[in-house]
Amino acid sequence: MSSSPLLVKNWLDPEAKPFIEFRGVTKLFDGIPAVRDVNLSIYQNELFCLLGGSGSGKTTLLRMLAGFDSPTEGSVWIDGVDITQVPAYERPVNMMFQSYALFPHMTVFDNVAYGLKRDGLPKAQIAERVAELLELVRLSAYAKRKPDQLSGGQRQRVALARALAKRPKVLLLDEPLGALDKNLREDTQLELIKIQESLGMTFIVVTHDQEEAMTLATRIGVMDEGYLVQTDEPHTIYEYPNSTYVADFIGDINLFECVVTENDAGNLVLSAPQLETTIELDDPVVGAVNQTLWYAIRPEKMRLTRDPSTAVNALKGVVHEIAYLGDFSVYWIDLANGFRVRISRPNISRMDDFAEAWGEEVWITWDGSAGVVLSQ
Amino acid sequence: MRLVAKLKSLQRDWVSWVPTLWLGVFFLIPFLVVLKISLSQATIAMPPYLPLFDWVESALEIRLDFGNYLFLIDDPLYGAAYLESVRIAFVSTVITLLIGYPMAYMIATAREPRRTLLLLLVILPFWTSFLLRVYAWIAILKTNGLLNGLLMSLGLISEPLVILQTDLAVYIGIAYTYLPFMVLPLYASLSKLDRTLLEASEDLGATPWISFVTVTLPLTIPGVIAGSLLVFVPAIGEFVIPALLGGNDTLMIGKVLWNEFFANRDWPIASAVAIIMLFVIVGPLMWLNRINSKTEEATS
């Protein structure tokens, strides 16, 4: 979805004015940091995902934007205005809560109308707007129901309609699809993108689900222990992670500790003891001789063959385990020194050559540009 | 298999029989005894009323005397006492609610271990005798008592206020005594309240006060009703507080009942007073219960 033709990649333009800014934001809870020195710029019409494990600080960051928590240090800006001290009820931001937080004593209609009533809009106008929103989330027939008479998916849509009602400048979504089952979740993801594009609103989504982040996001901010460790487009995050943490957190990866043995004008040769071999890199990488680096390579970027390979990057091993996952299979290959490499192969034919290759001796090969070198 | 199922259902029945039995022994039977006495005639004897059932020439003779009830309806004193009791109980309940709600709110939002401490402080007065605590209020409220002394030494008033032996003293006494019964159910329903609902309302543009009125208050109505009933119902029949703190013109039904029973030794009239009081209370109680179950249904 990140390749939508409508999308303007504002973050690539150094002149572009950020719409939302966190400037040096730190948040302590009882002296314990939840968010540490986060600097982040989000641009208009982005669908930005904050991705991280539990306790990584992603929800706290979102709550500081909504106004439920205030930063211990730093400031938060929306559309060029410092809103750090503005109370939540005056911020041009609305949130869709993880638990949906629908008012149990109100009907669907009253839930959606709640924010509009606070603005003191005339009744007819409120009714019109609510009808429009219920149409958008396909719940027009349920206006008179109470939340406890709805299914999980319906509640989620009411929560979305309620959060959209006031046409906020920014919509915050805290684990919006967490409670939905897989099929419904995929449908809803696409629907969210559609709504976001048609309304031209800025969405910020907090999630722990990397697949969800990859599907939704124009850009992803990966958080770990309160730090924002990498902010990039999904493709960049996956193919060019900036640290072993990000590489390991997003998708699967094989990480090898290496030492630089040669540096021929940027073309490095690495010695990887775990691989009992040297790695020649095609891409120029910064690194001094004797420096310790990590070589990271995704399982799908390695190939399996039975013939002894003469390729530059080739290793011999024994198939330890095979996991058949339907669309692809994962192979764990034990190298002679005991190090285990993970390789994935798409199941292009119904009976793959390696489908029953337990215990067989195989060769692993990969291209010089398949992996990334990480210094931290 | 059927036998096992039958035994199991018997076991289940047994569980529900225990409270039924309890209510039967400690509520229904005494109620029937009082009802019986209320329908008999007073006499100077031991016990001071004539039996309802009599064997006259080996035939059962039942003499029901509704005169006691007619007497209560006829004499305006009793009607006035009922109305006065309901009024005083109502005003006291409202005062208790107005004091109890903010207290319960504060406790429910306090952090542990402060929360437990505050709850304990609410219950703490129960550890001393109720009578003693009401007597203490006499010392506080009387003309040359602590309160007047304090207000006069602060220069807020020049002459002592007459509080003791007025309705106000009764309100204070009831509110003070029954406060924990108000605070505890309110605390229970406030601490159950999902805080993210308040964040949601705030997020949608509601100031804290509007959030309270549109979210907190409607969702804690069950607690308000439970607490109010726990104060209102016993306050109607309250005897000690109006007797000690109220004036001679504070006419509450508990006092009337006491007079009929002990001063006049008219057990049938006293019993009739009690029976009517029961119906005075049961009416609003059932009505509130219906509202309560409705809101509880909506919030669960």
Q: Determine whether the interchain pair A94/B203 forms a contact, defined as Cβ–Cβ distance below 8 Å.
A: yes
Q: Chain B contacts of A89, Cβ < 8 Å?
A: 202-207
**Would you tell me how many other CB atoms lie within 10 Å of the CB of residue A310?**
8
Residues of B with CB below 8 A from A67's CB? 202-203
pLDDT band at A361, cuts 50/70/90?
confident
Could you tell me if A115 lies within 8 Å of chain B, comparing CB atoms? yes
Say which amino acid occupies A233: E
pLDDT classification of A3: cutoffs 50, 70, 90: very low
Tens-digit pLDDT profile for residues B202-227: 999 999 999 999 999 999 999 999 99
CB contact at 8 A, A176 and A156: yes
Tell me the backbone φ, ψ of residue A336, rounded to 5 degrees.
Answer: -60, -35
Going by pLDDT thresholds of 50, 70 and 90, the confidence category of residue B88 is very high
Q: Which pLDDT score, from 0 to 100, does residue A266 have?
A: 63
Q: Does residue B166 register a pLDDT over 60?
A: yes
d(CA A376, CA A291): 11
Which among A205, A168, A202, A172 has a CA at the least distance from the CA of A189?
A: A205
Q: Which regions of chain A carry the CATH code 3.40.50.300?
A: 10-92+168-248
Stretch among B61-70, B149-158, B215-224 having the lowest mean pLDDT:
B61-70
SS (H, E, C) chain A: CCCCCCCCCHHHCCCCCCCEEEEEEEEEECCEEEEEEEEEEECCCCEEEEEECCCCCHHHHHHHHHCCCCCCEEEEEECCEECCCCCHHHCCEEEECCCCCCCCCCCHHHHHHHHHHHCCCCHHHHHHHHHHHHHHCCCHHHCCCCHHHCCHHHHHHHHHHHHHCCCCCEEEEECCCCCCCHHHHHHHHHHHHHHHHHHCCEEEEEECCHHHHHHHCCEEEEEECCEEEEEECHHHHHHCCCCHHHHHHCCCCEEEEEEEEEEECCEEEEEECCCCEEEECCCCCCCCCCCEEEEEECHHHCEEECCCCCCCCEEEEEEEEEEECCCEEEEEEEECCCCEEEEEEECCCCCCCCCCCCCCEEEEECCCCCCEEECC
Instruction: Look up residue A27 and give its two tokens.
Output: 């948040």
Interface touch B199/A88, C-beta < 8 Å: yes
pLDDT above 70 for A282: no
Q: Contact A89/B203 with Cβ under 8 angstroms?
A: yes
**Does B42 score more than 70 pLDDT?**
yes
pLDDT of residue A373: 84
- AA letter at B111: R
Q: Is residue B299 predicted with pLDDT exceeding 60?
A: no
Say what the pTM is.
0.80
Q: Does A68 touch chain B (CB under 8 A)?
A: yes
Query: Looking at residues B187-204, what average pLDDT do you find?
Result: 94
pLDDT at A352 (0 to 100): 77
Quick check: A250 and A275 in contact, CB under 8 A?
Answer: no
Interface of B with A in 121-150 (CB under 8 A): none
pLDDT for position A52? 92
The whole-number average pLDDT for the span B185-207 is 94
Residue A145 near residue A158, CB atoms below 8 Å:
no
Which chain B residues have a beta carbon less than 8 Å from that of A101? 194, 196-197, 199-200
A94 to chain B, any CB pair closer than 8 A? The answer is yes
Query: A229-238, pLDDT tens digit by residue?
Result: 999 999 999 9
Higher pLDDT, residue A177 or B294: A177
Partner B contacted by A93 (CB < 8 A): yes
Q: According to CATH, where is 2.40.50.140 located in chain A?
A: 252-374
Q: Kindly give, in sequence order, each residue whose CB lies less than 8 Å from that of residue B243, ignoring residues fewer than 6 positions away.
A: B255, B258
**Hey, of B203, B212, B215, B299, which one would you mutate to test binding to chain A, going by the most A CBs within 10 A of its CB?**
B203
Scan residues 186-205 of B and list those with Cβ closer than 8 Å to A.
194, 196-197, 199-205
Please tell us whether the domain made up of B66-299 is placed in CATH 1.10.3720.10. Answer: yes
Considering only alpha carbons, which residue of chain B is nearest residue A66? B203
Residue A124: how many other CB atoms lie within 10 Å: 8
Whether residue B125 is preceded by a cis peptide bond, meaning omega within 30 degrees of 0, is: no
Report residue A1's pLDDT band, with 50, 70 and 90 as the boundaries. very low
B204/A105 CB distance under 8 A: no
A166/B204 Cβ within 8 A: yes
Over range B179-208, report the average pLDDT.
94
Residue range A10-92+168-248 in CATH 3.90.1660.10: no
Is the pLDDT at A64 greater than 90? The verdict is yes
Residues of B in contact with A94 (CB under 8 A): 203-204
Starting at the edge strand found earlier in the chain, the sheet holding A227-232 runs A93-96, A170-174, A202-207, A47-52, A219-224, A227-232
Contact between B246 and B167 (Cβ < 8 Å): yes
pLDDT of residue A63: 94
Residues 209-268 of B with CB under 8 A from A: 210, 214-215, 218-219
Task: Give me the mean pLDDT over the A282-293 stretch.
Answer: 72
Out of A315-329, B8-22, B240-254, least confident range: B8-22
Whole-number pLDDT of residue B137: 92
pLDDT at A295: 86
Look up the CATH architecture of domain A252-374: Beta Barrel (2.40)
**And the tokens for A222?**
């990966």
Q: Domain boundaries in chain B?
A: 66-299
Please give the structure tokens belonging to residue A158. Answer: 């009411």
Q: What tens digit of pLDDT does each residue of B272-295 get? A: 999 988 888 887 788 877 877 776
* Mean pLDDT within A339-357: 84
Residue B102 has pLDDT above 90, yes or no: yes
Task: Give residues with Cβ within 8 angstroms of B55, minimum separation 6.
Answer: B61
Name residues 270-299 of chain B within 8 A of A (Cβ).
295, 298-299
Residue of A68, A90, A104 with shortest CB distance to B299:
A104
CB contact under 8 A, A114 and B214: yes
Instruction: Compute the count of residue pairs across chains A and B with CB atoms less than 8 Å apart.
Output: 67
CA B283 from centroid of its chain's CA atoms? 14
Of the candidates B200, B214, B295, the beta carbon closest to that of A101 is on B200
Query: CB-hemisphere CA count at 13 Å for A137?
Result: 27
Predicted confidence (pLDDT) per residue in B71-82, tens digit: 888 888 888 998
pLDDT digits (tens, 9 = 90+) for A86-136: 999 999 999 999 999 999 999 999 999 999 999 999 999 999 999 999 998
Task: Give the residue-averaged pLDDT of A354-366.
Answer: 82
In chain B, residues with a C-beta closer than 8 Å to the C-beta of A166 are: 204-205
CB atoms within 10 A of CB A125: 11
DSSP line for B207-260? -HHHHIIIIIHHHTHHHHHHHHHHHHHHHHT--HHHHHHS-TT---HHHHHHII
Name the token pair of B60: 């059962």
* CA proximity to B38, closest of B212, B198, B273: B273
User: How many residues can be counted in chain A?
Assistant: 376
Rounded-to-integer distance, Cα A290 and Cα B235, Å = 87
Instruction: Decide if pLDDT at B167 tops 50.
Output: yes
For residues A156-171, average pLDDT: 92
- For residue range B230-263, list pLDDT tens digits in order: 999 899 988 889 989 988 888 888 888 888 888 8
| CA–CA distance, A371 with A281 (Å, rounded to integer) | 8
Which amino acid makes up residue A221? Answer: G
Give the percent of chain B with pLDDT over 90: 39
Report the alpha-carbon distance of residue B197 to residue B102 in Å, rounded.
19
Q: Say if A89 is an interface residue toward chain B (CB within 8 Å).
A: yes
Instruction: State whether A67 and B202 contact (CB < 8 Å).
Output: yes
Contact A230, A221 (CB under 8 A): yes
What is the model's pLDDT at position B54?
75
Is the per-residue pLDDT at A2 higher than 60? no
Contacts of A364 (CB under 8 A, 6+ apart): A302, A303, A304, A314, A315, A316, A317, A333, A341, A343
| Residue among A95, A105, A118 whose CB faces B206 most closely | A118
- Is the pLDDT at A247 greater than 50? The verdict is yes
- Per-residue pLDDT, A72: 95
